[in-house]
Structure 1
Amino acid sequence: MSKGAGFRIFLTVFALIVFLTSLVIAFLGNAPTSLSNTGNSTTSLVDGLFTQPVEGLDKKYPSDIGPADWVFVVIWPLVYVWNLIGIVYLVVSLFLAQNKSPILGEPVMIPIGSLICWSLLWGLSFSWLFIYDRELIILGLFFIVGAAWSGYGFLAFSYRCYRKDVFYLESHSSTMLWIVRILIHNGMAIVTTWLTCAWKVNLATVMAYKESRGVDVVPAPLNGNLTVEDAGTIALSLLLIEFVVWFILENFAFESYCRYTVSIYPTLIFVFTGIFVGNPQGAEFNTQYWSQNRIVALCGLILAVIAFVARTALVVIRHRKRVTLAPSAIFHMFILFRFLASFIDIVVDEMGRAYTAVKIALTIFGFLVFVTCGAFNFLANVPAGVGRENTTYNAAQDVFISDTEERSRNYPNQISPASWAFIIIWPLIFFWNGIGSFYLLVSLCLRRDRSPILRTPPLVPIASLILWSITWAGLIGWVFSHDREYYGLSMACIIVSALSGYACLAFSYRSYVQDKYMLEEDDARMLWLVRILFHNGFAILITWLTCAWKLEFVKVIAYVWDSAENKAVLRSESFTIEDSGTVALSILLFEIIAWFILENFVFEPYCRYTLTIYPVFIYALTAIYARNLYPPRDEEPSKRLEIIALVGAILTAVLFVVRVVLVVVRHRSKPRHA
């Protein structure tokens, strides 16, 4: 018997006892005592064990993100039956030959850490039943979060313990390996996913209600001005963020560890379906029916289905190809981009080597397009008089036919930033990029090895120069189409402008990263000028454009022009401007989180010193929050969007701090790969 086997046997038996205790207590707390108790009926079979039925707690602390009753009837039996089979298998395996036991064999598949986490999960779960029954809702939140994290710990310890020997196990113990994957890992993933969803409901209750233990008030008094619906929206938004982040991490960071754990997404689909169906607001198709949390749940359901299909496809492909290093798999997503980038690089670099004049001409042309864009933006927004906030009576009346104030009245938008945001951000964008563009122009007159454009390899290649011009030209197109209220066209222009900006930076990063250590030694000044003036300046612009196209998106999906009434009207009464703003901000938050992960763990060597992205996001979200907190006259604020913007600003601020810390650490250690 291997070292420590006695302790493992003890922990396995103890884990079985804790699990059976949790099963019995959960049954006693939820089984009906008569046929009259239907649905999610919870009158306890043992008087005194529980002080009140769950049905009474649901009435006292109502939530519009609680799943339908049938969800509980299905999920808990599934959770307990699946995990019961799993723990019985682990106990039985103690009597098998050592090489056939995932606990006693070598390599160990269920280590001591996993066994401890198993007991913690089920112990905290049944403790939560007692705590919530006594209405200690804040304490209950800590217990259910602890249970969920214990599940994460169980899986993490197990994955880490056997991954390095997976090929040996597939050759010599494939039956045991697949039993552990199916019974243990997927069973634990179901309960962990369910607990992850369950604590969001508990969180919404804690945010919305005062702890009213011993107070016979139904429903319990609210905890401040935050409504039950808004608390549910925050909780569901947090769940969506976790879901998206996990999808990225699972498939492109930890894929080789958890490839065959696929029960997470069916559980999420089941939960989101239960929330959508169980949302208590009206059963008829009306404005009440499509509540904000019903919409969020539907979006989550659609995303979960798409993620499950994508996850299944990736697992099948990687199983066939036996991909062993998941981090490199992310580059499969960018094969097309890399092919096109390489092709364009070959073409334009050959042209550049043969004709230096092409680079010079493109630099001058880019500067002229930039100046033209600045002039048109100034003419479109400069006031003809004094006293107009964010005034738009332009200085060239025949060039532009409307003003911003008039467009804002025609198309009210609750995610538009406060007026002061535009007054600050656009001068900053043009001033910073003006200095950067002027530096590139002046560098043409320097020695070839001192010019970021003319040197070999260039820091700003021809492709970046072309895309620089397209970005500013797209912005010119947006100014005119926005002025004419062609919002579909203006959204297309601003998206093209933003995408061109991304590609411009991508080509520049790609061009110099292989020689950056030589540059840091031979010409650090030029390298830092490009990083500060060009990369960070352009990042401010494209980050602002990333936020700005969400405004156009809201106008496109929310409004349609009514020629008879000569005004813009909502496309649908059931999908309000607040709902469209929620969708737009959710997309923005998703982009922020996705970029944070990609920037710090995939593309970090390329864009380490581009730091202006997060301050711009914080600035934009703060301005949206301020606009809804102190709305202009004749405009209705949105409490929901105010909360989302505030949460987004805080989240982005945290990400920015983490980003700065990572940059400082990596700058000192100089790692070549993140």
Structure 2
Amino acid sequence: MNFADKTKHNWFIVALILSNILIYVTMLGFNILASFPINSTTKLFPTDAGGISDDYFIEVTPAFWVFSAVWSIIFVWNALWLIYAFINIFRRLKDNTLFYRKFDFLNFGIFIAFIVNNLSIIAWLFLWSNKFIGWALLLIVFCVVPLNVALFIFYRKFDECKEDLKKHKMIVDLVIIRILPQNGLATFATWLTLATNLNFATFLAYECGAEQDVASTLILFIILTIALVYFVIENFIWQRYLLYNFSPWFVINFALLGSVIKNYDASNPSRNNIITIILLIITFLLAIGKMVLFILYKTSCKRFANRKISHINQTEEKSKIEA
């Protein structure tokens, strides 16, 4: 792409940003309609979304306030990065280059994937509130996939842009990008992954005839496996891309804590009560491990950079003396 192209608007990207905002607001509206009992008598949503958990008891379901808090955080967090994307439409650099065309970290693929996710969530609300548990499970899995696609595209594109952002002294933007789209999308994906597991347990217990406690145990081990695999990936395989991902650990620990508070029976703890507490301890330790590895990585990189600069300076001084 030449310089002249980057001074002109890409109307396809602009249309995608505006479409994202419109569809996101629509998705929020449907979530509000599906969340309040006053709408449970309408044909649109026969049962409020939260009431389904009462009808289909799962021993590891977090307390209601966990759902309210996390969904509120997700909605606000992702709204903020969409607002940031909208503002970037009007930003130009000193050479008149459009900011969003120079720095392609919010690629068109991200916006398309996010639109697919939002539309899928709207469809899931209808299926879930009408108690089509099996179809709802299939659709919530489909909700998670485009979010992960969006994150994959974002990580690669942001990695390509971050050095250029540093050269242009866009330090504030670096911080905003890591906080808003990176951790905002990661929070959304983590929560939907947990919700998928709860939906799976509901399907096993109430559609497939499995014992509720067995289904609960199964998803706890699935969550443990996901947490361990993710810890290895983010710290030892894709650290370059996932170094600043912190929100997934907050989400999983908060959800497990809410599950313990709601379901733990101190007088007669069940198998799943004990497993949930053990899982909470493990994920808490993994979160601490993430922070420790982050600090070690940043400090070691800083030392390496200082040694490299010192070596360059010494080489330049030696060359001057020899000259």
The two structures share one fold, judged by TM-score above 0.5? yes
- CA drift of 1:638 comes to 6.6
- Distance change >3 Å, CA 494–CA 597, structure 1 → 2: same
The SS at the match of 1:455 is helix
CA separation of 1:451/1:395 partners in 2, compared to 1, >3 Å: closer, same or farther?
Answer: farther
- Structure 1 residue 582: Cα displacement: 0.7
**What displacement does 1:448 show?**
6.2
Distance in 2 of aligned mates of 1:609 and 1:668:
14
Query: What pairs with 1:544-563 in structure 2 (closer than 5 Å)?
Result: 544-560=191-207
- 1:239 aligned partner: none
Other-structure match for 2:17: 363
Cross-structure match for 2:261: 626
Confirm whether residue 603 of structure 1 aligns to residue 242 of structure 2. Answer: no
Give the Cα–Cα distance (whole angstroms) in 1 for the partners of residues 179 and 147 of structure 2: 16
The 2-side partners of 1:453 and 1:464 are apart by: 17
CA offsets per residue over residues 608-661 of structure 1, 9 Å max, x none? 111101010001111111221169xxxxx9711111111111111111111112
How many angstroms does 1:447 deviate by?
Answer: 1.3
Q: In 1, distance between residues paired with 2:194 and 2:82?
A: 23
Aligned residue in 2 for 1:510: 156
**Structure 1 letter corresponding to 2:292:** V
CA distance in 1, matches of 2:231, 2:215: 25
Structure-2 residue corresponding to 1:74: none
Contact 1:539 1:610 in 2 (8 A): yes
8 Å CA contact 1:359–1:462 kept in 2: the answer is yes
Matched with 2:247 is 612
SS of residue in 2 equivalent to 1:658: helix
Matched residue SS, 1:402: coil
| Equivalence for 1:665 | 296
Post-superposition shift, 1:354? 9.8
Q: Deviations over 1:405-425 (max 9, x none)?
A: 653343221121111111211
Distance 1:512 1:362 in 2: 19
Contact between 1:417 and 1:624, CA under 8 Å: does it hold in 2?
yes
Please give the TM-score of this superposition, normalised by the length of structure 1.
0.41
In structure 1, the partner of 2:316 is none
TM-superposition CA deviations, 1:90-149 (whole Å, max 9, x none): xxxxxxxxxxxxxxxxxxxxxxxxxxxxxxxxxxxxxxxxxxxxxxxxxxxxxxxxxxxx
User: Would the alpha carbon gap of residues 405 and 355 (structure 1) be closer, same or farther in structure 2, given more than 3 Å must change?
Assistant: closer
Distance (whole Å) between structure 1 residues aligned to residue 97 and residue 26 of structure 2: 25
Q: Letter of the aligned partner of 1:441 in structure 2? A: F
**1:464 corresponds to which letter in structure 2?**
I
Q: Determine if contact 1:618/1:649 at 8 Å carries over to the other structure.
A: yes
**1:278 equivalent in structure 2:** none
Shift in alpha-carbon separation, 1:414–1:668, aligned structure 2, 3 A? same
Partner in structure 1 of residue 215 of structure 2: 580
State yes or no: 1:458 paired with 2:72: no
Out of 90, 93, 97, the position equivalent to 1:445 is 90
Contact kept, 8 Å, 1:510 with 1:606, in 2: the verdict is yes
2:185 maps to 538
Shift of 1:452: 9.5
Distance 1:393 1:664 in 2: 49
1:553 Cα deviation (Å)? 0.4
Q: What residue is the counterpart of 1:403 in the other structure?
A: 48
Change (3 A) 1:352 1:455: closer
Q: Which residue of 2 aligns with 1:430?
A: 75
Does 2:70 match 1:416? no
Instruction: Give the drift of 1:456.
Output: 3.1
- CA distance in structure 2 between the aligned counterparts of 1:627 and 1:454, rounded to whole angstroms: 45
1:395 shift after superposition: 7.8
Per-residue deviation, 1:466:
0.7
Conservation of the 8 A alpha-carbon contact between 1:417 and 1:623: yes
| Compared CA separation, residues 463 and 404, structure 1 to 2 (3 A) | closer
What residue is the counterpart of 1:646 in the other structure? 277
Q: CA RMSD in A?
A: 2.8
| 1:3 equivalent in structure 2 | none
| Shift in Å, 1:397 | 2.7
| 1:137-148 mapped onto 2 (5 Å cutoff) | none
Cα deviation for residue 428 of structure 1 reads 1.1
Structure 2 partner of 1:379: 33
Deviation at 1:470, TM superposition (A): 1.4
Q: Which residue of 1 aligns with 2:308?
A: none
Q: Which residue of 2 aligns with 1:164?
A: none
Give the match's secondary structure for 1:497: helix
Aligned to 2:225: 590
> In 2 relative to 1, CA 404–455 (structure 1 residues): closer, same or farther, beyond 3 Å?
closer
Whether the 8 Å CA contact 2:124–2:140 is kept in 1: the answer is yes
8 Å Cα contact 2:50/2:64 also seen in 1: no
With over 3 angstroms needed to count, the CA separation of the structure-2 counterparts of 1:371 and 1:453, relative to structure 1, is farther
In structure 1, the residue matched to 2:132 is 486
Tell me the TM-score normalized by structure 2: 0.84
2:6–2:97 CA contact under 8 A, matched in 1: no
- Determine if contact 1:362/1:462 at 8 Å carries over to the other structure: yes
Contact kept in structure 2, 1:352 and 1:359, CA below 8 Å:
no
1:452–1:459: 8 Å Cα contact kept in structure 2?
no
SS at match of 1:609: coil
The superposition leaves residues 212-253 of structure 1 with CA deviations (integer Å, 9 ceiling, x where unpaired) of xxxxxxxxxxxxxxxxxxxxxxxxxxxxxxxxxxxxxxxxxx
Q: Is the 8 A contact 2:17 2:85 kept in 1?
A: yes
Quickly say closer, same or farther: Cα 1:439–1:457, change in 2 above 3 A: closer
State the percentage of identical aligned residues: 26
Q: How does 1:50-449 map to 2 (within 5 A)?
A: 356-382=10-36, 392-394=37-39, 397-404=42-49, 406-447=51-92
Amino acid paired to 2:120:
G
**Gaps in structure 2 of 5+ consecutive residues:** 305-323
Give the match for residue 470 of structure 1: 116
C-alpha separation between the residues in 2 aligned to 1:488 and 1:503? 24
**Partner SS for 1:416:** coil
User: Letter of the aligned partner of 1:507 in structure 2?
Assistant: I
**1:420–1:517 CA distance, 2 compared to 1 (3 A):** same
Q: Which amino acid aligns with 1:559?
A: Y
Query: Over residues 248-284 of structure 1, what are the superposed CA-to-partner deviations in whole Å (9 max), with x where a residue is unaligned?
Result: xxxxxxxxxxxxxxxxxxxxxxxxxxxxxxxxxxxxx
Contact 2:7–2:97 at 8 Å: present in 1 too? Answer: no
> In the TM superposition, what is the alpha-carbon distance from 1:537 to its structure 2 partner?
1.2
Structure 2 counterpart of 1:514, one-letter code? E
Shift of 1:665: 2.3
Q: Structure 1 pair 629/393, CA: closer, same or farther in 2 (3 Å)?
A: farther
Q: For residue 615 of structure 1, what is the amino acid of its counterpart?
A: F
| SS across alignment from 1:670 | helix
One-letter amino acid of the counterpart of residue 544, structure 1? W
